[in-house]
Amino acid sequence: MTKSTAALISTLGHPFLLLPLVLAWLTIWKVGFEGAQPIIAAISICIVSMVVFLYIRKKRGQISNWDVSVQSQRSSSIYRPILLLTGAAAAVLYFLRQPFVGDTLFFGLLMLVCYGINSRIKISQHTVMAFYVSFLVLPVHFWIGLGLFVFAPFIGWSRIVLGRHKKNEVLLGAIVGTLFGILHWWLFE
């Protein structure tokens, strides 16, 4: 795999692109376009907030790159803000009597586990999300979910080729994403 191919695959599998696209599609699939609008708005607000937050941190020199590849920068630049936004999104969905509150809290649990793991090893969030979303899609559309599952290792491999992660960090991401994907399937589907 060339670095340019790895960069393309890594970009397509970036959690800030892959996760909101899959969640928006699943939400529309499950509750219809009209019913999905408040949930898609919450997802969009969370993603835009994270992008603006990371932009400011990058501009100030507080993070080295958009992927926040330095392990010590991840707690304050990725995990804590995502946990805060996920909690806020779950609260808003709950008070507006919207669906997917449990799913949102479960995602928060996934991020909390990754946060804990990050204190020891820099888990690949690209890989976690790639495997996790494939299991979110499988019960709704088997072939698309299977396609995502087959594509997920390529996303992990792209992170190794780009020098952002080591093999054990990608493997751990695949294991955590798969376990949480299966657990989500068992609990919510």
Q: Is 92 exposed, middle or buried (0-12, 13-18, 19+ CB in 10 A)?
A: middle
Terminal CA-CA length for the chain: 36
| pLDDT tens readout for residues 88-141 | 999 999 999 999 999 999 999 999 999 999 999 999 999 999 999 999 999 999
Which residue in the block uniquely carries the two structure tokens 């993603």?
Answer: 47
What's the number of domains the chain is made of?
1
C-alpha 7: how far from chain center: 18
Q: What pLDDT tens digit does each residue of the chain (189 aa) get? A: 799 999 999 999 999 999 999 999 999 999 999 999 999 999 999 999 999 999 999 999 999 888 898 999 999 999 999 999 999 999 999 999 999 999 999 999 999 999 999 999 999 999 999 999 999 999 999 999 999 999 999 999 999 999 999 999 999 999 999 999 999 999 998
Sequence-distant (≥ 6) Cβ neighbours of residue 87 within 8 angstroms: 108
Sequence-distant (≥ 6) Cβ neighbours of residue 45 within 8 angstroms: 89
Domain that holds residue 109: 3-188
pTM of the model: 0.94
